[in-house]
């Protein structure tokens, strides 16, 4: 019997990182004498692979300049981490308890699908004491940007889970569209960075206390509402 699988987005779903991302993006844009994108514009691209996100924030820069901005963002991001601690942005309240509860279920597997790089994600998981909790970790180093389904398909292959008992949890349309493209269910969260209206998820968790019940239902073939 295949396991149940819950795949987690990171920014806006597990951790509250919008402020950090906007601050670092402003520094990277300043290095290129470009006006900093506004907080709402930054929130709209969180979850995408960095190069894709930068191109959306300022279309037409060209490949070389996008590459410089990407390198600058990464350098500023790691400098900021040294200032505020390796874990960086905090977990949303209640997330740790949800993850620990799911990890204790013998037929449950946990995975991550994030637009972050491996170098960025590793310290976050370690800093929050979550290293080793996830059976599959998919990052931007190895896959096209969301909403391409590659991350979800890789997590399915690594865990042996079936699409029918797999749920992608995320806060953005990129997460939901990725889930749809991979043929798995999608659970939106209301505390993240995209408006929940129009996400098209199978269900939306209004608070972290809703997650356990919704995931139990969705990973066993049920649908909310």
DSSP element (H, E) containing 213? helix 211-218
Distance of alpha carbon 131 from alpha carbon 75, whole angstroms: 23
Burial of 147 (0-12, 13-18, 19+ CB in 10 A): buried
Residue burial 175-201, b: 16+ Cβ < 10 Å; e: rest: bbbbbbebebbbbbbebbbbebeebeb
Catalytic residues: 9, 11
């Amino acid at each position: 019997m295949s396991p149940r699988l819950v795949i987690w987005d990171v920014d806006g779903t597990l951790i509250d990182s919008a402020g950090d991302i906007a601050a670092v993006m402003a520094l990277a844009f300043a290095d290129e004498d470009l006006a900093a994108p506004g907080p709402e514009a930054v929130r709209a691209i969180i979850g995408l692979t960095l190069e894709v996100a930068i191109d959306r924030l300022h279309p037409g820069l060209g490949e070389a300049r996008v590459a410089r901005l990407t390198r600058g963002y990464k350098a500023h991001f790691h400098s900021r981490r040294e200032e505020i601690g390796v874990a960086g942005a905090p977990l949303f309240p209640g997330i740790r308890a949800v993850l620990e509860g799911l990890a204790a279920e013998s037929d449950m597997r946990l995975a991550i699908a994030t637009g972050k790089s491996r170098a960025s994600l590793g310290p976050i998981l370690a800093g929050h004491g979550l290293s080793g909790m996830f059976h599959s970790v998919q990052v931007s180093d190895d896959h096209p940007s969301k909403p391409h389904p590659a991350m979800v398909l890789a997590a399915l292959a690594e865990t042996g889970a079936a699409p029918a008992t797999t749920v992608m949890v995320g806060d953005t349309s990129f997460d939901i569209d990725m889930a749809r493209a991979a043929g798995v269910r999608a659970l939106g969260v209301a505390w993240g960075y995209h408006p929940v209206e129009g996400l098209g998820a199978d269900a939306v968790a209004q608070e972290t206390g809703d997650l356990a019940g919704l995931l139990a239902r969705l990973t066993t073939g049920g649908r909310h509402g």
